[in-house]
Amino acid sequence: MTILKQDFYNRDTLVVAKDLLGCKLCRRVDGKVFEGIIVETEAYTQDDPACHAYRGKTPRAITLFKQPGIAYVYFIYGMYYCFNVITEPEETAGAVLIRALEPINSENTNGPGKLCRALGITKDFNEVNLTDRKSDLWLESYKNFDESEIVTTTRIGIKQAADYPWRFYVKNNEFVSKK
């Protein structure tokens, strides 16, 4: 498969969020590669009150303003990591949260915390270049879904801007975190 290049991520966050469905998330551990197909995403932009970048370049949000195609990993609820990919041109904050994977050769990955735990994604992966095959974390093209196979709905697990229809998932996929 083909690793996703920076120009894939250097686009509108909502477009990238949909286009990531069907891509593979790959994680190399001790020479072995664990993979899952992305089946659920959520989009976040700097003008979105639920986005960490909404208040500007704070220490927590600085990564969101960096080059597209890098990872943004943060810790939530004192117990879970969440993995995002940076989108939009540099200096314009945008990210897509990867909410669920259909496992290929990994464990339970039907939620952002579960997939990070299963693949060993921690804060150490924050700002990793996802477009570099030498990285231990990257994304590849894999399969395409027709628009009729994609559900667009409101985001979950947030309080602000929860009514934004910026969550996308593959219809009838058993690995989606919540239907």
Which residue's entry shows tokens 């551990």?
29
Q: What is the pTM of this model?
A: 0.95
Q: Which residues of the chain have pLDDT under 70?
A: 1
- The pLDDT of residue 129 is 98
- The pLDDT of residue 151 is 98
CATH architecture of the domain with residue range 6-170: Roll (3.10)
Question: Where do the structural domains in the chain lie, given as residue ranges?
Answer: 6-170
CA 106 from chain center: how many Å? Answer: 17
Name the 3-class secondary structure at 18: helix
Q: Specify the long-range contacts of residues 59-66, CB closer than 8 Å, at least 24 apart.
A: 61/93, 63/126, 63/127, 64/93, 64/94, 64/95, 65/90, 65/91, 65/92, 65/93, 66/90, 66/127
- Strand ranges in the chain using DSSP code E only, listed in sequence order: 24-29, 32-45, 71-76, 80-86, 94-103, 137-140, 150-153, 167-170
Give just the sign of the alpha carbon dihedral 113, 122, 16, 134.
Answer: negative
- The pLDDT of residue 77 is 78
